[in-house]
Amino acid sequence: MKKYLIFIIFILNFFFLNYSYSNDKIAYIDIDYIVKNSLAGKSITEIIEKNNQINIKKFNDIESKLKSEEKEIIAQRNILNEEEFQKKINILKEKISDYRNQKKNEINNLNNQRFKLTKKLLDELNPLLANYSTEKSLAMIVDKKSIVIGKKNLDITNDILKQLNNTLKNVEVN
């Protein structure tokens, strides 16, 4: 009876209590930190911010022109007959609609530009990660967002950031 009990415990232990012992090295990296703090990432931020400021100035000018045109039309309300007044209002509405569409398109263009530049940065980062992984014999590099808890010595963000800053100073706009 004792032999059967030991055998059953051994079988249960073998099937249900799986222990994993691995010598594979794993590291993690904070991609967001690298994109924000690398020289290339900062150049992307500067490019996007510069284009955004240009757009803001342009749209503020258009908006002020539209507001002054609206005030003009309202001032002429008593002078113009109803038909002419409505015609001017409709033209102003079209201009406002065009303005909104143009603003929406510029915002989309800016977001697309940010996406493309960030993709270029990440495309440059991938070979660095592959080389680092080979040099340090790492089996896997995981993004920090996917980690709940990890040892601080497994974080390779600063090493990769230094390498990226040495190889890529800025990202060019096509």
Measure CA of the first residue to CA of the last residue in the chain; give whole Å: 79
Give the confidence band of 48 by pLDDT, cuts at 50, 70, 90. Answer: very high
Average of per-residue pLDDT values in the chain = 86
Cα–Cα separations (whole angstroms), residue 58 to 49, 54, 64, 99, 106: 14, 6, 10, 11, 11
pLDDT exceeds cutoff 60 at 18 = no
- The full set of domains in the chain, from first to last, is 25-167 (3.30.910)
Q: What would the pLDDT profile of 130-173 be if each residue is shown by its tens digit?
A: 999 999 888 888 888 888 888 888 889 999 999 999 988 877 77
